[in-house]
Structure 1
């Protein structure tokens, strides 16, 4: 019943309201900006028409035909090694400290490591040795051993922690424990 009352008020005098809205003067749109031709600095540019662009120019076509381009494939050249030669002539690489047993095609078979870089296995070994013996494996010794920057080594030891295993004992004393053998 409420919907009927609302519909009655909504449709009351609908035609008169529509006629009044239509008879109102519509707002005018803003005037358009007058187009100005772009100024050209070169007088030759103004003379070129759209038809001249699409026509063949025989002297230019002859010049284009006389050009010969010879290309060489850069990928056929041997891949550059990791060795970077410094100004003194000495190599900026170091041999890997140890290798992992495993597949001969794995990524662990890197022979030379650039100065200031570590492999993942060397980083884990250095971090674990520092964690187990911090007095002997100081940041100074690790930076000398692996040819690293001392500041970066200190940051590495401070902010990166290798895996830590924590065994949380249950709080209930009645739980049966497995015996370690």
Structure 2
């Protein structure tokens, strides 16, 4: 609403503002001496005090001081280019001594070297889940919690929610095969076989 009123007001007052602009501008430009801007009362007071102390201050200020001018002429600055600093050449980095090519990437899990109290590694978890599955009496949650120093409630939750799908009861957790890894290994072998066939052709 406010912006609409402002637009209407602007449209109405524009002809008044722009009336006879060229003539008014010509009149200001053609004046012999422009009218100085009004000064503050404090500035006027300062000018009066300056005139009382030294009436010829402005005249002396704009006169050329020959002594200072001569001093400026006497000053002579010479500059020389600084010597080029030769940076020592960097020794070429030696090539790596080990040319061992790493094996193909696998999805093996990382086994930490230090396991804090109250925690267990994935390998340990697989082990006690497998032991509990095959002998729940001997490897009950209390015995597992005491062995690994983990809270019994956490062990109960792990045994409840995580299961191992083992076809052969004689298998140990170390013998369990990862189906994803098996598929990946098969794909790598197939790729190597195709590469060999292409080279022979």
TM-score, scaled to structure 1: 0.32
TM-score, scaled to structure 2: 0.29
